[in-house]
Amino acid sequence: MLGAPLLLAWAWMHWSGYQGLNGQDAHDYLRIAKAWAAWGQGGTRPVMAEHPHGYPMLGAAIGKVFGSELWGLRILSAAGLVLLLVVFHNLLYRAFPEARWIGPFLLLGFAVAPFLLRYALVVMSDVPAIALLALSFHATVRWIAQHRAMWLLVAVCAAALAVCMRLAAVPMVLLLAVAWVQGGSEGRVVRWRIAIAALAVGGLVLWWALPLQRIQAAIAGSPLAEWSLLNLFRREQVSDDGVLRYAVPNIAYVLGVAVHPGFLPMGPLLLPFLRRRDLYPAHARLALVLLAGYLLFIAGMPFQNDRVLLMAQPFALVLLFPTFERAMDFLLAKGIRAGWVVMVLALVQSGLFVRAILPFMHQAQVERELADRIADLRAPRIYTHGMGAALHTWCPGTPVTELWYKEIDRFEAGAIILVRPANLTAQWTGLPPAVNWQRAQAQGVETLAHHPDGWVICRVR
């Protein structure tokens, strides 16, 4: 029953023609998966440049069975949601053996959670990574309670796989690592001594093996270099994505993981039923540490991103389960049929899911329309901003240059330029994408087509 929304949504997307493929990252994952499939047949081994390769590698392996890397990636994303349901079903039944509302809670919290269901149906690594983090969390709770090495091994392996899927999992994994060392009271001092000694030895080896400049460069190129306490309170951010302006500061945005309609629509209805004793169980304390630490880290980054914030949703849900039980009991005490309330909420959330997935479907349609137009032009090169990965997919064999990476002095005559001028003006003024567009215009371009979404197709003279 809990898997029914996933199957229905998949069938609807298949009927509508949407393949779960839109946006820069989705096309990049497909390209990497195809490269790994080619490597298996004697091609060149892909090298990691930006995304970790765990998701596309597994997608390529599954795709070998189903005859399509795209299908392999989509199946892997959907399997992540199934794993999430299994893990938290097991965790909640162990923590609350007398609970009566675990099924409805999982339905509303996971199966028809708008953003979670959306990312389980697209070519993205988020849901598989979140599921592996959930498995690591569950195994860590068992390790603390039972102190069996098997659970620690499961926790470590699942966390390592999560990082191989999505680098945004690193903050969660570091917090889980502290829990592994802390563990139960028996042997805690010895574990901490071993951990501190290992960190010291690792630091010395790193300092000895790598020049200080390389270490500094690695830190400067990592997310840590972008983190700032002031970002918690800023509404305007400057990053690799240009100038971004938001309605609320980051600290307010990240708190929305428990109440935002895309993450947890029923959240505001549960808040009156919160109690301090909900934090007493070991799994709740660990979930609170993971949630607070991760949200603090994300709030200090120069962006607001629902994909990154989605990683915190399961741990917010763990904390809210007792409130859900109280809310259902409250409805029964008032003579209200709780089953009907769950059904209405499920229908509302299904509508919110449709609202969340429609822009993705529209974007995929726009990408394909623009790519088809450009492919018919048979240009020697394509210059673009934000469409590079999609054009690599739909215009194979034509070199594609992203205007984002660096400033270009001279554009190839006869090449096609695909840009969205309004976006360049609003977000990228003074940065390579906007500067390159201005230089192309100065060199001379012929406008070939305008798309209703604001995209412009030009030819370099």
Query: Does pLDDT of 247 surpass 70?
Result: yes
Q: Please, which pLDDT band fits residue 208 given cuts at 50, 70 and 90? A: confident
Please state which of the ranges 220-224, 277-281, 284-288 shows the lowest mean pLDDT.
Answer: 220-224
* Choice between 446 and 200, residue whose per-residue pLDDT is larger: 446
Question: Which pTM does this prediction carry?
Answer: 0.93
Q: What is the mean pLDDT of residues 406-420?
A: 93
Write down the domain spans for the chain: 4-359, 378-460
Distance CA 357, CA 306 (A): 13
In this predicted model, what pLDDT tens digit does every residue of 131-145 receive, in sequence order?
Answer: 999 999 999 999 999
Q: What is the mean pLDDT of residues 73-99?
A: 95
Instruction: Average the pLDDT over each of 44-48, 389-393, 439-443 and give the range with the smallest value.
Output: 44-48
- Over residues 141-169, the pLDDT tens digits come to 999 998 888 999 999 999 999 999 999 99
| Structure-token pair, residue 332 | 């029964």
Q: Taking 70 as the threshold, does the pLDDT of residue 264 lie above it?
A: yes
H helix or E strand, kind and range, residue 445? strand 445-450
34 is written with which tokens? 């195809």
According to the model, what pLDDT value does residue 222 have?
65
The whole-angstrom separation of Cα 433 and Cα 403 is: 5
User: What's the pLDDT tens digit per position in 360-409?
Assistant: 999 999 999 999 999 999 899 999 998 999 999 999 989 999 998 889 99
Instruction: Specify whether the CB–CB gap between 106 and 12 falls below 8 A.
Output: no
Measure the CA–CA gap between 62 and 184, rounded to whole angstroms. 39
